[in-house]
Amino acid sequence: MQPYELSLAAAAREIRERRLSPVELVDSVLDRIEQVEPHIAAYVSVLADQARRTARDAEREAVQGSYRGPLHGIPVGLKDLIDVVGVSTTASSRTRAGHRAASDSTVAASLRAAGAILIGKTHTHEFAYGLITPQTNNAWDHRRIAGGSSGGSAVAVASGAATFALGTDTGGSIRVPATLNGVVGLKPTYGLVPRHGVTSLSWSLDHVGPIARTVDDTALVLTALAGYDPRDPASVAVPGVGYRPHPDPDLTGVRVGVPRNYYFAHVDAEVAAAVRRAIAQLEALGARLIDVDIPMTRYIQAVHWGLMVPEATAYHQATLRTVPELYRADVRILLEAGELMGAGDYLRAQRARTLMRDEWARVLEEVDVIAAPAVPMAAVPAGQETVTWPDGTVESVSDAYVRLSSPANITGVPALSVPVGQDAAGMPIGMQLLGRPFAERTLLLVGHAYERTQPARSLAPVT
């Protein structure tokens, strides 16, 4: 096995026990990037020289006994919305040409302090305003979409071009690409991970979180990221806890909610079957299944768009008026549409969101987690714009992918996507676990318990 094939937890163990050096791991990942990047286009920029220098520093620290923890010497890719001092933050947009970050974002500083090594900046759908990431190809089939907007981060992790990565999630942008590429993605509770220094799409919906190969890896990263930062108005002070699940988790007594409505409607049959098999596995592990009704489903899309569109347009107001031609057409149209929305529409969306949060809180009093499909279908071919369901309903691809993930953004609850199989074409399928605010430990416990019953997942065979 090559070092780039190691999970974060396995690589950390090898580094801690001095069987692997950070230099060897970084060199292996950089070699892998050189091999696969022409096929996947996951990276905006690869910082090879900087990564090698940092790896040498990490190796010296390890020799001297200054081990910083499980992220020490581990290569990470950062979505190119996340500021790193002295490095360009392009947001995959021509409007950011020549930009250089003057300081680290909070999450970049946290990873630096934990000993992680930045390997490069990964592609996003322009300013995170989309579910496709057209620059990047799916790790399992280059003719299919990567998902978005954190497509570069998910593809890099799935292909071995990063040991872990960070993404952002405003309506599903961590969970969608993680699912479509067969890796794990976590959208934390709103306010748990600070967003200072991260380019915003919609400030009341934006989250930063990890994409990794396993649930265990995800927990290790979250432990480094979570914390209070007064520079983020939404940041919440939560008592310091570790998030890593017990090696032999027990689900006895855990109440798993299975939606009667919404989450299994207009979902591909193979996706639904795989997720129901995974839910049955949770029951076999001791969990108690409880049917639940998802509240206010008819308002989900309107509330999500009613919040996101005007907030995004407000953020881009100056640039949209001075250099609109520098935006991709799809993003510019959405930003221009936001100028047509009135304050009343935005306020109604905020009121509806408050009601939705209250109703979700009631549901989550009855169960510990809700288990459901992460997305309604596997990755579609690049260029496909719509999907037609068996009842004749036609839905845009972007609307389909965001439909099952946006409720967690509206309500702010944590959501974890975990791979649960592949369809007949070999494309990954994912299950989504949703829980109470700041109950990430429970989600990770359940996800890890399921994951331990499955064969180890391999990296995508990029060729």
Is 79 catalytic? The answer is: yes
Half-sphere exposure of 29 (CA within 13 A, CB side): 35
Strand pairing report for 184-187 and 255-259: unpaired
In whole angstroms, give the CA distance from residue 429 to residue 54: 36
Query: Choosing from 93, 150, 173, 417, which is the catalytic residue?
Result: 173
Could you tell me the end-to-end alpha-carbon distance of the chain, in angstroms, rounded to an integer? 18
The region that residue 365 occupies, defined by phi over 0 for left and psi between -120 and 50 for alpha, beta otherwise, is alpha
Closest CA to 51 of 69, 70, 35, 28: 28
In whole angstroms, give the CA distance from residue 451 to residue 349: 37
In whole angstroms, give the CA distance from residue 247 to residue 224: 19
DSSP assignment string, 114-141: HT-EEEEEE--SGGG--S--TTSB-SS-
In whole angstroms, give the CA distance from residue 303 to residue 356: 10
Query: Choosing from 149, 159, 398, 417, which is the catalytic residue?
Result: 149
Q: In the numeric block, which tokens belong to residue 444?
A: 């990770």
On whether the CB atoms of residues 151 and 61 are closer than 8 A, the answer is no
Place of tokens 């909610």: 257
Burial of 419 (0-12, 13-18, 19+ CB in 10 A): buried
Is 149 catalytic? The answer is: yes
Residues 6+ apart with CB under 8 A from 162: 29, 42, 75, 76, 77, 119, 120, 122, 153, 156
In whole angstroms, give the CA distance from residue 318 to residue 309: 16
Burial of 357 (0-12, 13-18, 19+ CB in 10 A): middle
Is 173 catalytic? The answer is: yes
In whole angstroms, give the CA distance from residue 425 to residue 96: 38
Q: In the numeric block, which tokens belong to residue 214?
A: 């396993």
On whether the CB atoms of residues 293 and 362 are closer than 8 A, the answer is no
Query: Choosing from 21, 28, 79, 417, which is the catalytic residue?
Result: 79
Q: Return the amino acid letter for 256.
A: V
- Active-site annotation, residues: 79, 149, 173
